[in-house]
Amino acid sequence: MKATRVAVVGGGLGGLTAAGLLAREGHAVTLFEGSSRLGGKAQSVKVDGLTLDTGPTLLTLPHVVRGLFERLGAEELLPPLSELEEQCTYRFADGCGFVAYRDVERTADSAGELRPSERRGVHGFYAEAESIWRAAGEPYLEAPFEGMGGFMARVARRGVGALARGMTLATLDELARAHFKTEHLRQFVGRFATYTGASPYEASAAYALIPHIERAYGVHHVRGGIGALAEALGEAVRRLGVEVRLDMRARFTREARGYRVGPPGGEEPFDSVVVNADPLDSLGRGGEVLALSGYVLLLEVDGRLALPHHAVLFSSDYRREFTELFGGQLASEPTVYFCNPSATDDTVAPPGKTGLFVMVNAPAMPREPAEAERAAAAWEQGAERVKEQILERLPRHFPSLRGRMRVVGQRTPVDLAAQGAPGGSIYGFLPHGLFGPFRRPRIRGGQPGLFFAGGGTHPGGGVPLVMLSGRFAAEMASAHLRRGA
């Protein structure tokens, strides 16, 4: 029997996952990638001996990643994963600090130094976060979301209590206020809304499942960075026979018996298509409000300094910050995140050097062409302003950085938009509201044989979830092709 042909449009982690699994099933897979490199947003750069990621910087749910490489028969290609006991250091505008650990008792002890009652709050919060995970998170991730009926059936198998819990969830900020007395710990909880590009004052309390996942499954560093993981996955799919076509932007059109896919004038027939790109436009939802974008600064630091692997430097007024961002403005005082991979991995920086990935949230750009052009031009000044803010804030919290930092690169929403992100939005879809997660674009497209993968579709952004979307897309495409055969 002639092998069925599947086109994968886009070589991010979701597309690579789908391509590899489909090839493993025996399908003839061609992957079209518009740039010269695979990985999508999961890229790294090498500057003066430093290796720095420019996209995601941490890994959770490591069993999802290991399971994928096992399915692809490529376990030996997976870079080593290192778990961080000290998951993230938090610094606040008043000079206080707090550290989240894998060990919840150590986290509670650190919170108790801010206020003794917060120790009890940590235990209560993580207990509730775990119940949210059991009630809603596990059923949301264990199968493609095809509608509330199937999801609620999966929830119901966990008992009536799970159903009741799901119907009483408020916003993430309200959940934080139910457990914590200090704004410090409320900011800590609210930060996890930004994992989806959302505001903690509008996003569902369901996103408390993210800190639970980090506590239960750990925060991990990939040796060589997330970019090394993308390279390993690219090697795995090539080894399985996937035909990879770089520097080739492809479009797809539906035909009576399948699809024609390829660059204009070079389209070829395929039986099914997996699109690893934001699906909002394809689904006629291009006018929706977008999730946040971000500004990234890459720094070379003189000396191998004793800095945490991950740190967040919060603004003094978190609510004002999100009001400004979703009002289309840069934050007057942004929260700053940095990743220092050399704290764990001595391969990413030469002796006597430290490399820092630094990021602040930024509003997505308008999508109307004239407004987008004006916004892109404004980023020339905006980038300088944010850069100055970052370079001032970092040594205020970590004095050893003063006079040692050199800028080696930056990424703005304009760069993300050039990669195909709508309006430069990192996640595209904005999941605000109690039912926001259920409005996320689905993997199954509106036409037979069309499927989506990536951070813009179910189940969401982040390395393991994007890989899950690719796995679900591959399974659904295979089932469609079997029915067709």
Instruction: Please name which of 19, 16, 33 lies closest in space to residue 263, comparing C-alpha atoms.
Output: 33
Assigned domain for 262 exists: yes
193 & 246 share domain: no
Q: 2-26: b or e for each residue (b if 16 or more CB lie within 10 Å)? A: eebbbbbbbbbbbbbbbbbbbbbbe
For residue 223, give the DSSP letter: T
243-245 and 219-222 as β-strands: parallel, antiparallel, unpaired?
A: unpaired
Q: For residue 134, give the CATH number of its domain.
A: 1.10.405
- Tell me if 131 is assigned to some domain: yes
- Note whether 17 and 455 are within 8 A (CB): no
Q: Alpha-carbon distance 41 to 155, whole Å? A: 33
Residue 211 and residue 238 in one domain: no
The owner of tokens 């991979």 is 341
Helix (H) or strand (E) holding 469: helix 463-484
> Is residue 181 a part of any domain in this protein?
yes
Same domain (yes/no): 249, 177: no
Q: Is residue 393 part of a domain?
A: no
Residue 323 placed within a domain: no
Short-list 319, 310, 360, 359, CA closest to 200: 319
What range defines the domain where residue 432 resides? Answer: 5-42+63-72+228-286+428-484
Same domain, 207 and 265: no
Last residue of a domain, one of 215, 237, 261: 215
Residue 275 — φ and ψ, nearest 5°? Answer: -105, 115
Closest CA to 8 of 39, 25, 33: 33
**Rg (Cα) of the chain, in Å, rounded?**
22
Q: In the prediction, which pLDDT does 155 show?
A: 84
| Bridge partners for 21 per DSSP | none
Q: Are residues 189 and 119 in the same domain?
A: yes
**180 and 279 part of one domain:** no
Alpha carbons 74 and 76: distance in angstroms, whole number: 5
Measured in degrees and rounded to the nearest 5, phi and psi for residue 222 equal: -90, 125
Q: Is residue 365 part of a domain?
A: no
337-349 pLDDT, tens per residue? 999 999 999 999 9
Note whether 235 and 195 are same-domain residues.
Answer: no
- The answer to whether position 397 is within a domain reads no
Residue ranges of the chain with per-residue pLDDT less than 70:
1-2, 159-168, 485
Are both 209 and 232 inside the same structural domain?
no
Q: What is the pLDDT of residue 2?
A: 67
| Statement to judge: residues 150 and 210 lie in one domain | yes
Between CA 178 and CA 174 the distance in angstroms is 6
What does pLDDT average to over the chain?
94
Task: Tell which of 154, 180, 215 closes a domain.
Answer: 215
> What CATH number does residue 15 fall under?
3.50.50.60
Q: Do 209 and 233 share a structural domain?
A: no
Residue 166 sits in the same domain as residue 195: yes
Total domains present in the chain: 2
According to the model, what pLDDT value does residue 148 have? 87
Q: Give residue 33's pLDDT.
A: 97
Determine the Cα–Cα distance for residues 444 and 473; give it in Å rounded to an integer.
8
Amino acid identity for residue 157 in this structure: R
The DSSP 8-state label assigned to residue 460 in this structure reads -
190 in the same domain as 253 = no
Whether 313 is covered by a domain: the verdict is: no
Preceding omega of 459 cis (within 30 degrees of 0): yes
Calculate the CA 233 to chain-centre distance.
17
Q: What is the rounded CA–CA span in Å between residue 177 and residue 180? A: 5
- Whole-prediction pTM: 0.95
